[in-house]
Amino acid sequence: MRVSSLEYAARPGALSTPSLRRLAMISLHTSPLDQPGTGDAGGMNVYVTELARRLAQRDIEVDIYTRATASSQPADVPIAPGVQVRHIVAGPFEGLAKNDLPGQLCVFAREVLRTEAQFDVGHYDAVHSHYWLSGQVGALARDRWGVPLVHTMHTMAKVKNGLLADGDTPEPQARVIGEEQVVAAADMLIANTDDEAKDLINSYAADPTRVEVVHPGVDLDAFRPVPMADARARLGLPADADVLLFVGRIQPLKAPDVLLRAADALLRRDPSRRSRLVVAVVGGPSGSGLEHPTALADLADALGLSDVVRFVPPVHRDELADWYAAATLVCVPSYNESFGLVAVEAQAVGTPVVAAAVGGLTTAVADGISGVLVDGHDPEDYARVFERIIDSPGLRAALSVGAVAQAADFSWDRTADATLGVYGRAVELMAAEVVR
């Protein structure tokens, strides 16, 4: 019979709960090796990678389990000292959409358990799952390994369905049920913001004592203020341009169309702006946006903006920092965001953010200090804000200073330290259950 470290810690005479040595992270549907900004890769990929790196710097070995999507992928890929991605074969390598993945949960879970079985008993001290699909696997691993499960939702079906963009597809009921099951199974739940914690408690009946708010971070070494002129020169942008930037996956939820329609409104109000305007969209189609991958380009044509809009495929971090620095402002008009990593990255570079006043964006952006929060998604409202920032260099400068200060409050080191506290709480809770 397997005896977990938690069972040992709960025995009479045990001195204390053992410290965390090894952690299994589960990120089933998207790999930390994937390029953020297209497909299903986005802020969650960054979250998993950066958190794992910081935990490893604190002497915790982290294995990240993800589904293999190509036969050429090695079984194990080290991505940092103490951090390893483990590719699990579950279903065909290609051709599976995220909504097809529930059918592979059993196979994925079986192969995760089989991989762990090659190690000594008690190899992992905790499981941290990301997104509901991973949570289903994490719940099984929890019970099999006798270690606590910590879960981060990242997004929630009930919240998304309540804030759908026009024409977007609702999340299926199977996901809602799956999320409710994960909430019930997890020893601790990590929410990105206070609002997300409230959603877990009010919409999913989560136990408030098992929900902890831990803000995601930003890499303040990679995203830091650099001269706008230098960034524009490297990207080949005019020094005197008014650059409106969108970064992220191109799908209705992220609402990049709002930026294009706002740019159109801006030009209708003052056609003379056209010679200086650059609207840059950095990212690729994702989610329901894959059904019409040219929809945003078609909209640019229909609005007569093809001469000012630039579509840029997802770029690596160094070039992304240049895009942020080159922008007059960054627009994040999403219908919902659990946090809004793009907003924090942009602010860390010193660029003001114009964002929808929804979800985690109300935490990420300090309204009137680091950027401007806009109620709703009326392009005319966004155009008016763009106009104020473009035409008021003093305002932009003040927002830029506020942006850097706002981003300084978010770091991955803080995230890792707070997350370690949640792991400790989860260990205590499970040990108490063993005693009972």
> DSSP letter string over 196-236?
HHHHHHHHH---GGGEEE------TTTS----HHHHHHHHT
Q: How far is C-alpha 304 from the chain's CA centre?
A: 33
Task: Judge whether 315 is annotated as a binding position.
Answer: yes
326 assigned to a ligand binding site? no
212: phi then psi, degrees, rounded to nearest 5: -130, 135
Q: Is 43 annotated as a binding residue?
A: yes
| 294 marked ligand binding residue | no
180 is in an annotated binding site: no
**If DSSP codes are grouped into helix, strand and coil, which group holds residue 156?**
coil
The annotation status of 45 as a binding-site residue, yes or no, is: yes
The full 3-state SS of 324-343, as one line of letters, equals HHHCCEEEECCCCCCCCHHH
Q: In whole angstroms, what is the distance from residue 382 CA to residue 90 CA?
A: 44
**40 is known to lie in a ligand binding site:** yes
Is 36 annotated as ligand-binding?
A: yes
Residue 81 counted as an annotated binding residue: no
Does 110 belong to an annotated binding site? Answer: no
The helix (run of H) or strand (run of E) holding residue 281 is: strand 277-282
Q: Is 158 annotated as a binding residue?
A: no
Q: Is 327 annotated as a binding residue?
A: yes
DSSP string spanning 95-144? S--GGGGGGGHHHHHHHHHHHHTTSPTT--SEEEEESHHHHHHHHHHHHH
Task: For residue 279, say whether it is annotated as part of any ligand binding site.
Answer: no
Residue type, 7: E
Angstrom distance (rounded) from CA 27 to CA 135: 9
Please state the length of the chain. Answer: 436
249 is in an annotated binding site: yes
Is the separation of the CB atoms in 217 and 413 below 8 Å? yes
The verdict on whether residue 337 carries a ligand-binding annotation is yes
- 130 contacts 45 by C-beta, under 8 angstroms: no
98 labelled as ligand-binding? yes
Provide the token pair at 320. 């992304």
Q: Are strands 277-282 and 76-80 parallel, antiparallel or unpaired?
A: unpaired
Residue 328 annotated as binding site: no
Annotated binding-site ranges for UDP-N-acetyl-alpha-D-glucosamine: 35-36, 43, 249, 254, 315, 337, 345
Annotated binding-site ranges for 1D-myo-inositol 3-phosphate: 29, 40-45, 98, 131, 155, 175
Annotated binding-site ranges: 29, 35-36, 40-45, 98, 131, 155, 175, 249, 254, 315, 324, 327, 337, 345, 351
Annotated binding-site ranges for Mg(2+): 324, 327, 351
